[in-house]
């Protein structure tokens, strides 16, 4: 599908892979700043560029946000000062281009009816069009993130109250959004009509609620999982308890299947499917269609470990460790330059020579994006004396960029977009290379009952990309 001009890189960048968290303390027994801190800490894998927490005690909103990891942005003293009845938080992913503290979230604004804070995971494909139209009306933007378009729309459309403004905003924006929002009295969770990005609801005690991108954050703060927020649903939590408003949804949901492949944490449940189980099942299905003879199955740590275990179990080839990981290095994509990215791989992973020497290795990874990681690792394993390296990937070939919230590079940079499997094998230098089929990947998440976006694999996006030009603003 052709990408509309001025779409992908409008502003400094469009991609937003993030984690959101919210907590409403109904019983006055929680330290909401602390809960948000631990919630965000457990969502750190969803974003390492910046972090922020906003709190309210019913009068005004205070916030702390900055570039850096959660424990770098907040120290003990800062956390202790973040008291109140409601808190929301955000971690933002590092992609490429300008990374600026001004783009850190939650965004906080004062509008006609009081104060508002907003944290967003996802990507609005028509943000540039809406933003330009809003600017024609005189709007001034302080950041380059699409989230500010949401904030601006809500403020402008709020003459009939906040709920009405949210409805109108949802009619105007196109793309993916899992939002947590806070006024001085309410915690609000919103999931886009396709449910592209996850958002779950949890409870602490009888009446205190939490919202989070992934259920692993509930375990971190001692909350119990209640349910996922439905696609197109708005949940409002305030002194009257929890209320749900369901926006009309015209088609099947489209949860991002890449959450299961790579992005989410293994101990999370998303829309009824356990991430660990899905990854392990992917490895088993990979092995079911394979007949390679090998001495050991290894994983590219950490995200491919469940798939490698599944592969080993199904194939009968013993599982072992072939790569040591420096646990203090973040995700390799952080470095924007290719040269740095390659050094990054070497800093992050190293071969365990004693384990791999003289062996025929099946190396399982969850995905090949640019191919930088795979090529380097295959090389490392060979240098360490591996006799054969057979690469197995527990997802299909990533052929298309994501416009809905996962950071994938442009089509030209995707190894799989313009190469056959054999050409990819040659590039990464493996003895053989196989991918999981899309059919098999979707089987691993079948239990959820929802639909999936597999756009990065097959180009079938939840909505036509021409929607990026949609600019229908209900401004009176
Ligand atoms: P590459 O070297 O570009 O092929 O990167 C593939 C590796 O990066 C795999 O080991 C994945 O675990 C990981 N990966 C996949 N998608 C992403 C993403 N969107 N952001 C960061 N890392 C990713």
CATH of the domain at 164: 3.60.20.10
**Last residue within a domain, chosen from 235, 269, 303:** 269
- Measured from the Cβ of residue 382, the count of other Cβ atoms closer than 10 Å reads 18
Measured from the Cα of 93, ligand 1's closest atom is 20
Q: Rounded to the nearest whole angstrom, what is the distance from the C-alpha of residue 371 to the centroid of ligand 1? A: 8
Which of 19, 302, 373, 375 has most ligand 1 atoms within 8 Å of its beta carbon, as the pocket-test mutant? 373
Same domain, 281 and 234: no
DSSP state of 422: H
Q: Is the shortest distance between the CB of 23 and ligand 1 below 6 Å?
A: no
Q: Is the shortest distance between the CB of 365 and ligand 1 below 6 Å?
A: yes
Same domain, 229 and 347: no
Same domain, 335 and 222: no
Evaluate whether 221 touches 260 at the Cβ level (below 8 Å). no
Residue 86, beta-bridge partner list: 24, 56
In a domain, residue 325? The reply is: yes
Q: Rounded to the nearest whole angstrom, what is the distance from the C-alpha of residue 368 to the centroid of ligand 1? A: 6
Domain residues for the domain of 96 are 18-269
At residue 10, the pLDDT reads 32
Active-site positions read 18
What distance in Å separates the CA atoms of residue 40 and residue 61, rounded to the nearest whole number?
Answer: 19
At residue 330, the pLDDT reads 61
DSSP state of 100: -
Q: Is the shortest distance between the CB of 121 and ligand 1 below 6 Å?
A: no
Q: CA-CA distances (angstroms) from residue 252 to 125, 189, 468?
A: 19, 20, 20
Same domain, 190 and 333: no
In a domain, residue 466? The reply is: no
Same domain, 354 and 263: no
Residue 123, beta-bridge partner list: 176
Measured from the Cα of 17, ligand 1's closest atom is 19
pTM comes to 0.93
Residue 19, beta-bridge partner list: 91
Protein residue closest via CA to atom 19 of ligand 1: 407
Q: Rounded to the nearest whole angstrom, what is the distance from the C-alpha of residue 373 to the centroid of ligand 1? A: 8
**Last residue within a domain, chosen from 225, 248, 269:** 269
Task: Give the count of domains, the chain.
Answer: 2
Measured from the Cα of 407, ligand 1's closest atom is 19
Same domain, 409 and 444: yes
Per-residue pLDDT of the chain (476 residues; tens, 9 = 90+): 333 333 333 333 334 579 999 999 999 999 999 999 999 999 999 998 899 999 999 999 999 999 999 999 999 999 999 999 999 999 998 654 356 788 899 999 999 999 999 999 999 999 999 999 999 999 999 998 999 999 999 999 999 999 999 999 999 999 999 999 999 999 999 999 999 999 999 999 999 999 999 999 999 999 999 999 999 999 999 999 999 999 988 788 999 999 999 999 999 999 999 999 999 999 999 999 999 999 999 999 999 999 999 999 999 999 999 999 988 776 544 444 556 666 678 788 999 999 999 999 999 999 999 998 999 999 999 999 999 999 999 999 999 999 998 877 789 999 999 999 999 999 999 999 999 999 999 999 998 889 999 999 999 999 999 999 999 876 65
Q: SS3 breakdown of the chain: % helix, strand, coil, rounded to 5?
A: 35, 25, 40
Same domain, 249 and 320: no
In a domain, residue 4? The reply is: no
Evaluate whether 50 touches 65 at the Cβ level (below 8 Å). yes
In a domain, residue 475? The reply is: no
Measured from the Cα of 365, ligand 1's closest atom is 10
Task: Answer positive or negative: Cα dihedral of 171, 175, 176, 178.
Answer: negative
What distance in Å separates the CA atoms of residue 274 and residue 381, rounded to the nearest whole number?
Answer: 31
Structure tokens at 180: 């947590």
**Last residue within a domain, chosen from 220, 254, 269:** 269
Q: Does residue 36 have a cis bond before it (omega within 30 degrees)?
A: no
Q: Does residue 302 have a cis bond before it (omega within 30 degrees)?
A: yes
Structure tokens at 408: 């994938």
At residue 44, the pLDDT reads 95
Same domain, 251 and 297: no
Same domain, 56 and 168: yes
């Amino acid at each position: 599908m052709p990408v509309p001009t001025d779409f992908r890189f409008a502003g400094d960048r469009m991609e937003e892979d993030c984690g959101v968290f919210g907590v409403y303390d109904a019983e006055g027994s929680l330290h909401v700043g602390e809960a948000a801190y631990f919630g965000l800490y457990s969502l750190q894998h969803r974003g390492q560029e910046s972090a922020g927490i906003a709190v309210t005690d019913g009068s005004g909103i205070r916030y702390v946000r900055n570039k850096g990891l959660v424990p770098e942005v907040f120290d003990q003293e800062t956390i202790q000062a973040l008291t109140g009845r409601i808190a929301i938080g955000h971690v933002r992913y590092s992609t490429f281009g300008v990374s600026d503290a001004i783009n850190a979230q939650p965004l906080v604004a004062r509008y006609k009816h009081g104060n508002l804070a907003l944290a967003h995971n996802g990507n609005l494909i028509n943000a540039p069009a809406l933003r330009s139209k809003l600017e024609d009306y005189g709007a001034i933007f302080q950041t380059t993130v699409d989230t500010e378009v949401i904030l601006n729309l809500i403020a402008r459309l709020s003459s009939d109250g906040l709920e009405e403004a949210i409805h109108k905003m949802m009619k105007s924006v196109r793309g993916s959004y899992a939002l947590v929002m806070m006024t001085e009295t309410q915690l609000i969770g919103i999931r886009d009509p396709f449910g592209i990005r996850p958002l779950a609801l949890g409870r602490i005690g009888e009446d205190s609620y939490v919202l989070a991108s992934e259920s692993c954050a509930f375990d971190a703060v001692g909350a119990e999982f209640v349910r996922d927020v439905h696609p197109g649903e708005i949940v409002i939590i305030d002194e009257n308890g929890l209320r749900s408003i369901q926006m009309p949804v015209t088609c099947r949901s489209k949860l991002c299947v890449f959450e299961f492949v790579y992005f989410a944490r293994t101990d999370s449940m998303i829309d009824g499917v356990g991430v660990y189980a899905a990854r392990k099942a992917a490895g088993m299905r990979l092995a079911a269609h394979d007949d390679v003879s090998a001495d050991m199955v290894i994983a590219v740590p950490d995200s491919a470990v469940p798939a490698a275990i599944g592969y080993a179990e199904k194939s009968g080839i013993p599982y072992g460790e072939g790569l040591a990981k420096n646990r203090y290095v973040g995700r390799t994509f952080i470095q924007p330059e290719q040269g740095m990215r390659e050094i990054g791989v070497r800093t992050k992973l190293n071969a365990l020579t004693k384990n791999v020497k003289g062996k025929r290795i099946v190396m399982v990874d969850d995905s090949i994006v640019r191919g930088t990681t795979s090529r380097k690792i295959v090389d490392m394993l060979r240098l360490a004396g591996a006799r054969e390296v057979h690469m197995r990937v527990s997802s299909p070939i990533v052929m298309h960029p994501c416009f809905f919230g996962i950071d994938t590079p442009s089509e030209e940079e995707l190894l799989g977009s313009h190469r056959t499997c054999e050409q990819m094998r040659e590039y990464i230098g493996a003895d053989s290379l196989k991918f999981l089929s899309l059919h098999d990947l979707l089987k691993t998440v079948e239990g959820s009952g929802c639909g999936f976006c597999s756009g990065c694999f097959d180009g079938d996006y939840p909505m036509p990309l021409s929607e990026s030009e949609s600019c229908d603003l209900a401004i009176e």
